[in-house]
Structure 1
Amino acid sequence: MTHSKKAYRFRQNCVAAAVSMLLAPSAFALQNLSDERLAETTGEGVALLPENFKIVFQGPNDISAASSYGTLTDKASLLEASKKDTGFIRIIPAGGNYEKLYEQNRQKIYNDKFNADYTYKLQDNYNQHYLPKYNQVYSSVKNNADYRAQIRALYAKDFDADYAKYSADNAAQISTQTTQLRPTAPWTSRYTELYNQRRADKQILGSWYSETEAESRAWAENAVAGEIKNYIISTAVNASIDQRTNNRLEESAALKAKNEADAYYETYRQQLYNGARDSAQSLVSSTNLAESLKASRTKADVFIYGLALSKSNGDLSQRYSNQGLNWGSAENPWLFRSGTAKDIQQFKKENKADIAYLALEAPLAREGGNSASDRIKLGFWTDIFSRSLDSSSQVDPVTGAPVSGLDKDYRLRAQFVANGLSIDGSQVRLFQTQPSSTAQHNQTLGMASVLRLNTHNDPSKLSMNDADLNARGIRLSTAARTDNDDGAAPTPAMDGSFAPIFNESDGLYLYSANINLVLGNIYQPFVLGSEGGNIILELTRIPNVPEIYTKIYSYYADTDGANPLVKTREGASAVQPQLKDSDGIYRVLEGSTCNVSACGSNTSEIKAGSATLKYQGSNATHSSIAIGSVTRDPLSNTLKANRAADSTGVVFRGPAAGSAPVNLGSAAIDGVLIQHFKIKTTGL
């Protein structure tokens, strides 16, 4: 077993009762068990250990003949045998709200016609009627000389006050400008004119008016300085008056032009609108909406064919290797068990209780990876159809396939193959949520899950030149090997034809893909519920409750280190931060990121013979997605995509033989925390 067998109280629980019937070795069939006896099994479970395990969905065979694969191992024979991979899982949506679809279709016909006749012509109508009228009125007002003079006269009444204010506010500037203008030609000439006039006046006045030549020059200098100052101030004040006049004139012109153009244009706009409305209503009335709705392709039909699990190999063109795999070990098996999480809080501070859960857990992920464990090859191919709304839902009772309604022109055919896949460390826990003020969250079915899909334990040195890239990657392709290999029928479920053979190289390749997703946890449950007649899938919001969010949030030294609220406890290491709440208590931020090398703090050790094996945890709260050449910093547990020229991860290959691949390099999305999301169906 991989978990402690310590007993916890778990009374009057139907799930625990079912588990106890399988686990109680000393009880006879249907023997009555006391609550005390029942509690002894709590925390244990059923261990599952698939050995030499392989599976592939092939078509029905009424004569119970052997699988087409038999004992085949060579590539060509396996490819030929894959033509029988026509066993399928069919996903058929229940349909929509037909009244709503009818109204949507009616509205679409109306909107398309209305937009064509009004919305898309509105700009032309605007340019044709509004703009010419606006420009004509604006120009007539702006260029009216009498109106300009009238406005200027209003502002000129305050000339003396403006003159005095400008003189006081700009004394230093006026002095500088006066000094600069004085040597220029107009003012030197004016100085000469004033001086000569002064000297001539002295001669006329005679000897009783005594003034030296120097005094005459000083008088002329002061006089010209005064005139320069007056010129500077008057020019500035007049410019201000002119500017205010222009502004007032433009405002008046714009307002008058808008008012007259609006009134003029509205008549033509209303005519355009009325015409478009009438033509759209007429089209809707003349259209057979029922027939139009039937022709719309609002139904989907999905076939998942040839779902196959087998032992991984180095070929991404094969969906199935025909080799069995050992999934787990005696010390580390699959586990279906019940358990109890202690002192859990959800939604609000007042909630605090033990939560019983039922869990399905894949084998634990080994620290450093386990090169000896079998890796998985997962493959399937699919046909996805868009069907008309009026297509028949009739099903062939023998094959389970539709009898009609599938069209190759509305089909997506694709193949998925994954090599080197490991889901070790994945787990799903189901439980009843705690009380909540939100009805859809209140004591309903909750889930906490860690989904780990890893294809490479250490991709840090991955190179485009590696020879074994196809042994650890995911491929999605669509092209058939030839037209004949694609089949004539829309899908094999309808006529029992062969499965297609896909092109050997075409497709999108994701080398060393490591996807570790945390979808809900015991403190932030993923809820499966209903609202009205619709289904809700919701990852509940992280509440503003320190006792809860400190269990989820992670500490990042590069950003949180400067936050005065985020501290480290005295004597604790730098990666054990604490958040001080309003009550003065420092709380440790316990969240962490799940990646291929680490997934939480609840690590474990298991004895395997004389060896002690160390396994990763499962209580991380953040997700990561890494594709290709990615390096991990063990101190901060962060990922970084490599940037070397030969780094690889996301690669496109064409169907033509020998075509050069397009290498887009590696990618890392690290530390993903989903605060809240909600998916809700509509129309059910």
Structure 2
Amino acid sequence: MTQFTQAKLFRQSCLAAAVSIFAAPSVYALQDLSDEALSATTGEGVALTLENFKMVFQGPNDRSTASSYASGMVDPGKNDTGFIRIIPTGENYEQLGQRAYDKIYKAAYVDAYQQGRVTGYNGVYDSTFLSSKSTYETNNATRITNETIATYSTEYRGRLVQSYLESPTMKAYYDQRYADYYDGSSAGLSFENDGTTKESITPFLKEKSQAAALKNTYEMIELLYGNNSTGNLPTTSTFYKNYVSGKITRSNIIDTTKDAQLNAKAAETLNQLATDYAKLEAQKASDAALATVKKNAEITAKQIASTATVSSLRSKADVFIYGLALSNSKDKNGKSSLATRYTDQGFNWGTAENPWLFHAGNQDVEQFAKDNKGNVGYLAIEAPLKKIAADDASNNIKLGLWMDVFSRSLNSSNVVDPITGAPTSGLDKDYRLRTQIVANGLSFNGSQVRIFQTLKSTNTNYNQTLGLASLIRINTNDRAESLSINDGDLDARGMRISTAARSELDDGTAATPAMDRSAAPIFHETEGLYLYSPNINLVLGNMYQPFIVGSEGRNIILEVTRIPNVPSIYSKIYTYYTDIPGNTTGTSGLTAADFKGSTCNVYSCGTELKANSSDATALYQGRNATHSSIAIGTVERLPGNLLNAKSTDTATGVVFKGVNGQSTNLGSVAIDGVLIQHLKIRTTGL
């Protein structure tokens, strides 16, 4: 970023000379005002009033004696081809070239990357996973099976034997055998031979009887379900007759089940190990494939981007503002319409008692930092003051224009017609925005702009540069609270932005009339965005918080300077809202009365003004408000100078209308108490 290394002083005498030169060509429009009339105005300076004023930009016609509106021709707006052309210049082509390279590189990279994923990446993971898993299983199946048998065979067989041991059949056998050993049956003839080993023990010994009975039970499990299922099992024993005969089919189910469980465990282990191995191999192959795809995409993108040129980029703008017109909102029949841009009727603006005023003044101010004070001289351009009482007569200005805005390629022709100042080629309808703006009932009364040199500052952008304190007031309705969608005169106070032509034949022949001196388009009678009764009051800078115009290198800076954390400065700007719970002035030592900020709206704009000090009451609204407001449509004023957008069924403000006559009413809008804490606009690429 380029910055100033040395502050440039702005001489007030130069500023005064510039303004006087600017004002000189309008001397013929000055009205002779008497001393009595001037004594009733606020301030001193050069006064100006407009009487029966009207104007419209139309194309050159040496044979014309009046505008097309005065001649009574059909569609007089077709002659509204006088234009103002705005051509942004100073493009940074090096920066633009880099942007073009980056844009083409990015697009080429994305295309190559996506194509590479399809051909060289998608499916790599899956195919590698399957092949790696199969290879691992083939190479390790025998090893895993043997390791599983060695590890789990005894455990699995023991669990199966234990399950039979706990079965009702084997518990009954154990109890019988224990009783035989404990009561001495094993020593006598009553001890039955059931195929198990007869133990010789002394009767009535519990532990030895239990051990012998358990040993015989394990033997019986093997005879019935285990590895001795084919051995001799006498069929004459009581146990066989009661529990085995016809109920149990002898087979080695224990070892068969154990082998099946071992095989399942081996398969599960092999599958898990093979899966883990395959995932690692697949991820490595996938990463390698993706890296190759990215590398190839970078190579391809660089090759394509190296041929990039900025000549075909549409980064140039070309703006044509046609038919700029100011006239009375009402036509010769006393009607107001947003379907036409010009009425051919003049309007008056300002009176001898309340004129436009160009004057000089000075004010003691503090700017940017604590105790940074000084007496600042300024030049002021002030529109007539806005009356406190509702004044419908002042809402009498109609503004109309239409424009073509083009996006042009850098290699488009820059040849200009020496007579009209228009290009001879290079404009394309496909890259054009065509729009019309019409506003009725406008009043700029109460607006003012002060031009001055700022005080010294440690910020080089703020230091003794061109400063502005501006109040822009665009109002249309002093009684907007009663506005209704059913009113018959909505067009008398409103703004319309439209784009549709009346028909395809009415949209002109060339890309823009300046190229071939053809007729202007005729816009559709109703289509567009309607803003009914807009009241816009904007504060852009003040004497304590200047709006500066400066530069950084070759870039233009427009900045509403930052409000410093200095009580003696921000108290002149901020508003103290007493209705906010817990609101306090903090430790600054200020009271609520010290905060001088207020909001500007159609009803009030700061401290009210008297025409002169001898007046008993103030007649005009002030000009020292610090907060902005925007109201559109049915908006009422509440106590405390607050605005409220009404939400009744008939409330209106923002309305869309189509070419088919259908309309959509979005209701009213109120944006109140807007304070710009800091705003900076910086052009780039210049």
1:54 corresponding residue in structure 2:
54
1:637 corresponding residue in structure 2:
641
Task: Give 1:562's aligned amino acid.
Answer: G
Task: Give 1:596's aligned amino acid.
Answer: V
> Equivalent of 1:680, from 664, 679, 682?
682
How far apart, in 2, do the equivalents of 1:19 and 1:299 lie? 33
> Equivalent of 2:659, from 655, 671, 675?
655
Structure 1 position 394 matched with structure 2 position 415: yes
| Matched residues, number | 544
> Equivalent of 1:308, from 295, 311, 325?
325
Task: Give 2:633's aligned amino acid.
Answer: G
Per the TM alignment, residue 259 of structure 1 is displaced from its structure 2 partner at its CA by 7.3
Secondary structure in 2 matching 1:604: coil
Map of 1:291-330 to 2, 5 A cutoff? 293-313=310-330, 314-330=336-352
How far apart, in 1, do the equivalents of 2:564 and 2:274 lie? 58
Task: Give 1:649's aligned amino acid.
Answer: G
How far apart, in 1, do the equivalents of 2:512 and 2:358 lie? 37
Cα distance change of structure 1 residues 16 and 529 upon mapping to structure 2, 3 Å threshold: closer
Per the TM alignment, residue 372 of structure 1 is displaced from its structure 2 partner at its CA by 3.0
How far apart, in 2, do the equivalents of 1:430 and 1:65 lie? 40
Per the TM alignment, residue 284 of structure 1 is displaced from its structure 2 partner at its CA by 2.8
Cα distance change of structure 1 residues 466 and 20 upon mapping to structure 2, 3 Å threshold: closer
The answer on whether the counterparts of 1:326 and 1:374 sit within 8 Å (CA) in structure 2 is no
1:190 corresponding residue in structure 2:
none
TM-score (norm 1): 0.71
> Equivalent of 1:623, from 625, 628, 637?
628
Cα distance change of structure 1 residues 510 and 269 upon mapping to structure 2, 3 Å threshold: same
1:69 corresponding residue in structure 2:
69
Task: Give 1:45's aligned amino acid.
Answer: G
How far apart, in 1, do the equivalents of 2:496 and 2:362 lie? 40
Task: Give 2:621's aligned amino acid.
Answer: Q
Task: Give 1:450's aligned amino acid.
Answer: L
Map of 1:126-141 to 2, 5 A cutoff? 128=123
The answer on whether the counterparts of 1:327 and 1:374 sit within 8 Å (CA) in structure 2 is no
Cα distance change of structure 1 residues 503 and 16 upon mapping to structure 2, 3 Å threshold: closer
1:562 corresponding residue in structure 2:
582
Structure 1 position 44 matched with structure 2 position 65: no
Structure 1 position 380 matched with structure 2 position 380: no
Structure 1 unaligned segments of length 5 or more: list them: 1-10, 24-41, 150-203, 205-251, 567-577
Structure 1 position 452 matched with structure 2 position 473: yes
TM-score (norm 2): 0.70
How far apart, in 2, do the equivalents of 1:105 and 1:501 lie? 38
Secondary structure in 2 matching 1:415: strand
Cα distance change of structure 1 residues 505 and 369 upon mapping to structure 2, 3 Å threshold: same
2:360 corresponding residue in structure 1:
338
How far apart, in 1, do the equivalents of 2:407 and 2:18 lie? 43
2:603 corresponding residue in structure 1:
597
Task: Give 1:667's aligned amino acid.
Answer: V
The answer on whether the counterparts of 2:327 and 2:346 sit within 8 Å (CA) in structure 1 is yes
2:375 corresponding residue in structure 1:
354
Secondary structure in 2 matching 1:487: coil
Cα distance change of structure 1 residues 21 and 385 upon mapping to structure 2, 3 Å threshold: closer
Structure 1 position 92 matched with structure 2 position 109: no
Cα distance change of structure 1 residues 608 and 413 upon mapping to structure 2, 3 Å threshold: farther
The answer on whether the counterparts of 2:394 and 2:443 sit within 8 Å (CA) in structure 1 is no
Deviations 1:74-116 (A, max 9, x none): xxx4762222111111100114111221221122111111122
1:192 corresponding residue in structure 2:
none
Map of 1:406-555 to 2, 5 A cutoff? 406-555=427-576
1:187 corresponding residue in structure 2:
none
Task: Give 1:55's aligned amino acid.
Answer: M
RMSD of the alignment, in Å? 4.2
The answer on whether the counterparts of 1:83 and 1:499 sit within 8 Å (CA) in structure 2 is yes
How far apart, in 1, do the equivalents of 2:18 and 2:290 lie? 74
What percentage of aligned pairs have identical amino acids? 56
Runs of 4+ in 1 over 3 A off after TM superposition: 11-23, 119-138, 252-265, 584-587, 607-613
Task: Give 1:621's aligned amino acid.
Answer: T
2:262 corresponding residue in structure 1:
none
How far apart, in 2, do the equivalents of 1:636 and 1:125 lie? 71
Structure 2 unaligned segments of length 5 or more: list them: 1-10, 24-41, 137-143, 149-182, 184-272, 331-335
The answer on whether the counterparts of 1:591 and 1:622 sit within 8 Å (CA) in structure 2 is yes
Deviations 1:394-434 (A, max 9, x none): 21111111111112222111111000111111111111111
The answer on whether the counterparts of 1:526 and 1:537 sit within 8 Å (CA) in structure 2 is yes
